[in-house]
Amino acid sequence: MTLIATQSLTKTYGGRVTALADLTVAVEPGIIGLVGANGAGKSTLIKILLGLIAPTSGQVSVLGIDPTADPAAVRSRVGYMPEHDCLPPDLSAAELVTHLGRMSGLPRTAARERASEALRHVGLYEERYRPVGGYSTGMKQRVKLAQALVHDPDLLLLDEPTNGLDPAGRDAMLALVHRIGTEFGISVLVCSHLLGEVERICDTLIAIDGGRLLRADNISAMTTATDVLAVEVSEGTEELAARLAELKLPVARDGRLLLVPLADDGTYDLILGAVAELDLPLHRLDQRRHRVAELFATRELTHA
């Protein structure tokens, strides 16, 4: 089943500001990373998926349901963690999550039980009886995640869950999201402006920029297909780059390294031949997996 599908989805505010432009994407269940710079349209997309705002044009379906036609049906199966502060400081986490569980239609006792379960899963134990106002940012983020989880959704929409966290907190939050996506059997759409962060945990990556789709693909397909060779010579880097370009190899510079996409074993021979020909001191020649960020960078390079 397709988890989220959009067809030519467009959203303009007041006819002037374009938040989403002709976005067509379809993803399978799993952990999906939605990356883009601030203002790329990530939050707008999430709000359309929740049926909170209507698209200007185009179709959208979440878990096979159209949120513009039946928002209540979508929302009862989706959990949403907003980006901004949204916790009343004077309530305890247990009270808040229980209340929001009831608002999702859980009976009183079930809401209380599931609230403490959800808080336990995100790592809040005794502190859940204290007012949220005294919590650290990391704990608040966990409460926000717990309230999205309390009604046992089939899909979680997480808007910048690592916002404001220190590196250790980020790792812990990402590990938690990964655990939810794998062990709990709940699909997760996690939004971030930091590509390096989400690529570690997600199966599928959607990259958008200025409301347009840059790329949407399975993350393993993205990385394995584009292994590169990193070449480093102690001197004569420029000459080597020019020589390789003559050999019709698409060379990219990365500091002192030259990056050459690995087409087949012949690529090794070509590079070694070029180095020997120019009589350069070869420092390093190794294969490495592309990080997704470089993948986008090289794509832009080849376009240019």
Partner 1 sequence: MPEPSTAAVRSTPTGVIHDIGYQRYEGPRLGRRQVFGALYLHGLRTAFGLGRSAKAKIFPWLVVGIVSLVAVALAAVRSQIGEPVATYAQFADAMSWLVIFFVAVVAPELVSRDLRSGVLPLYFSRPLPRADYALAKLLALVTALWLLLGGPQLLMFLGAAFTTKQGMRGVWNELLDLLPGLLYAGLWAVVFASVGLLVASLTGKRAFAAGGVVAVFLMTTPIVGVLSILPSRAANELAGLASPSTLVQGVGIWSLGDLLVEGDPGEMMIGGFGPVYALAAVLLVAGATALLLARYRKVAS
Interface positions with partner 1 (CB under 8 A): 47, 50, 52-53, 71-73, 75-76, 78, 80, 82, 84-90, 95, 99-100, 102-108, 110, 114, 117, 121, 147, 151-152, 180, 183-185
**Minimum distance from CB of 75 to partner 1 (Å)?**
5
Element (H, E) at 257: strand 257-261
**Minimum distance from CB of 101 to partner 1 (Å)?**
10
Helix (H, G, I), strand (E, B) or coil at 5: strand
CA-nearest of 53, 54, 45 to 25 is 45
Instruction: Please identify, using beta-carbon distances, which residue of 6 and 147 lies nearer to partner 1.
Output: 147
**Minimum distance from CB of 213 to partner 1 (Å)?**
24
Q: How many CB atoms lie within 10 A of CB 236?
A: 15
Contacts of 36 (CB under 8 A, 6+ apart): 42, 193, 207, 208, 209, 214
212 beta partners:
209
Surface-to-core class of residue 169, CB atoms within 10 Å of its CB (0-12 exposed, 13-18 middle, 19+ buried): middle
Q: Dihedral sign, CA of 213, 219, 222, 228?
A: positive
**Minimum distance from CB of 3 to partner 1 (Å)?**
17
Surface-to-core class of residue 96, CB atoms within 10 Å of its CB (0-12 exposed, 13-18 middle, 19+ buried): buried
**Minimum distance from CB of 283 to partner 1 (Å)?**
42
**In whole angstroms, what is the distance from residue 78 CA to residue 55 CA?**
19
**Minimum distance from CB of 35 to partner 1 (Å)?**
22
